[in-house]
Structure formats: structure tokens, C-alpha cells
Amino acid sequence: MSNQSTVTQFFLLAFSDVQELQILHFVVFLSIYVATLLGNFLLVLAVAQNPNLHSPMYFFLVNLSLSDICYISVTIPKSMAISLTSDTLISFSGCVIQVFLSVICGTAELTFLAVMAFDRYVAICHPLQYTIIMNWSACFQMAAASWIASIINAVVQTANTFRLCFCGSNITQFFCDIPQLLALSCTDTTANMWCILVFALTLGSFCFSLILLSYVFIFSTVLKIRSAQARYKTFSTCTPHLTVFSLFFSTVLFSYFRPKSLSSPLVNQLAAVLYTILPPLMNPIIYSLRNKDIQGALQKMSKKLFGSHLMI
């Protein structure tokens, strides 16, 4: 049996010790949380209620939104509670659950972005074969594979992290994050780093390569289109996806593989905000602003909701 931790609870890092700043942090995070939930739930409802959006692209977008809802719900509520009560305590089991769910959602974010890139590649580069390649059976299989891969990675990373013996309980982060937990270990973490590296070199590099190659072929095809309007329409559907991926992937890489010289509580918190909070907030905004189909579906929903009330 491996070393067992004597730590039975952890203490998370508050954003500030000043009460006024804690209240400000609570208000800001509450606004972000409500906006994120509202945006993603509206996107899911818009797709569900509009038959015109029952296509592979929006099916994967719904999965991404559900992942975002879970992702931000894992981290923000506890941080807001800390700002209100100044109680930074989190139980050992609570920390395990937080790590497990955040890894599932973070991995799902990456895999669904890769699947969505492949969907756009098929739609733009092989439009005549699109319905054959991206049939509903294939879509369900890709979605299932994404969630299964996310769960497997979460099980491995969580089990590998909490097998360690922890000599400290003060986590320099506003939620239980693997890099900060490894820093608290007084046992060798080489196996943990190899585990993270293996994931990065397999699933991570596969998703990155799939997205990169998809967009190389997409842009190559788009540049051959003579119609400026057609080129703009194609770019408008791809740019949001590429923006979301670049933001998420770069901040995750920075958080997990940055040199120790760049590590500090403030840097850790800012990096975590960028990859756990900003993507779930920005995804529905980016996809809605640049997507006329989503805008049209949201307008129909608002007319049904508010129009009926106005008639009454």
C-alpha cells in the first residue's frame, strides 16, 4: 500500500483578506456565474427547440455547453462562499470530487473542440459526403468517446494525485487544482508528472493536431472560394471556434507546464480564471455573436416567451 496522507482537510486561497475586496469578488464571480449559466442554458434551449439546428455542429455545441455549465459550477460556488464567510476549509472528499469533476470537464472541453473542428473540416472540405461521414450514429459515437476519454483521464489523474502523502494543507488556488496539490506532497511526484505528460502527448496532442490540421485544410479550401461573401460566411463559422480553442489550450499549457520561476499565488489564480471561468463564459457569447442561426433561434424563443406575455 502506498503512503497515506495524514491531511484530512485542505484550505483554499481567498482572493483577498480585505472584506470590501471579498464582497467585490463575490459580486463579480456571482455576475459571471449567472451570465455563464444563462448563456449556456439559453444556447442549449435554442438548439433543442429549433429543428433547423438539429445538426451535428449544434449537437456538439450543446455537449460543450453542458460541459461548461458543469466546469464553472465545480469551481466558482465554493470560491464565492469563501468570500462571504471567510471559511476557506474544504474537506478531503470535497477536494477529491472537485479535482475529479474539473478534470472531466476540462478534458471534455478539449475533446469537443477537436470534434467540432473535424465537423467543420468535413462540412467545408467534403460537403457532398458530409451527411454520410457525419451521420447521427457517428456523432453519438464521437460524443460518447469524448465523455469516456474524459472520465478515464479524470479517474487516472485523481487517483494518482490522492495516493500521495501531503505534508501541507494550504492550497495556493481558489479550488483544488492538481499542480497546487502536487506542490503540497512530501513524496515523489515524478509518476504524477509522467501521467500528466502522457495525457498531454496522447489525447492532448491528438486533439491539438486534429484541430490544427482541420483548420489548415479549411483555410486552404476557403481561399480557393471566389465569392467574397461565401468566404466571409465560412470564416465567420470557424473563427469563434478557433478563438475559444486558442484561449483554452494556451492557458492550460501555461498552468501545467510553466517554469517554477513564473509560479506565484496571483499568477496561479489568474491562469486558473482564464482556463476554468473565461471559456465557459465566452463560449455562448462568441458562438451567438457570430452565428446568425443561433441568433435567429434566440429571437424566436424571446418572441414566444415575451410576445405571449405582451399579448396577455
Residue 2 lies in a domain: no
Q: Is 1 contained in some domain?
A: no
Query: Domain for residue 237, yes or no?
Result: yes
- 119 contacts 107 by C-beta, under 8 angstroms: no
**Does 93 fall in a domain?**
yes
Strand-pairing partners, residue 166, are 185
Q: 235-284, pLDDT tens digit by residue?
A: 776 777 777 778 777 777 777 666 666 667 777 788 788 788 888 888 88
pLDDT value at residue 153: 94
Q: Return the CATH number at 70.
A: 1.20.1070.10
Query: Is residue 3 in a domain?
Result: no
**Residue span of the structural domain in which 142 resides:** 9-311
> What's the structural domain count of the chain?
1
- Give pLDDT tens digits for 35-80: 999 999 999 998 988 888 899 999 999 999 999 999 999 999 999 9
- 4, part of any domain: no
Residue 290 inside a domain? The answer is yes
